Amino acid sequence: MIIDKYQRSLFTDTNTVNSVEELDYITSNFSEFVFNRPINTYQVTPSDIQRPDLIAHKVYGKSNLWWIIMKYNKIEDIWNDLSIGQILNIPSILDIDELAIKKRK
């Protein structure tokens, strides 16, 4: 099985609950990493509503990076927090690559 370098769990912190280590998808963020390259923007269209995978495909050519866009924009609820015309900040794929390398070490 090939591990995708953008696998969500590689970017996620862990917590120990009742002696069990669990992935923390809610509170982890990118605060430890500095995005150095210019941030692009993307305006949400009607077809993007509740489909962050389509946004990721449009801006990165990879639908599996949807969660990075949502996390970067502090969107936790894709069903209610995306609106038509909303401007999203899109971090550079090169910065994301650097973060992936850092997280794998």
pTM over 0.85: no
| 3-class state of residue 1 by DSSP | coil
- 77 or 4, greater pLDDT: 77
The total domain count for the chain is: 1
Of the ranges 7-11, 21-25, 28-32, the best mean pLDDT one? 21-25
79 occurs within a structural domain: yes
User: How far is residue 65 from each of residues 11, 17, 18, 48, measured CA to CA in Å?
Assistant: 12, 28, 31, 14
Is residue 3 in a domain?
no
| Residue 1, in any domain of the structure | no
71-89 mean pLDDT = 92
- Least confident stretch, 8-12, 25-29, 77-81: 25-29
Its domain, for residue 21, covers 8-104
Question: For residue 54, what is the enclosing H or E element?
Answer: helix 52-60
Burial class (CB in 10 A: 0-12, 13-18, 19+), 11: buried
Of 104 and 86, more confident? 86
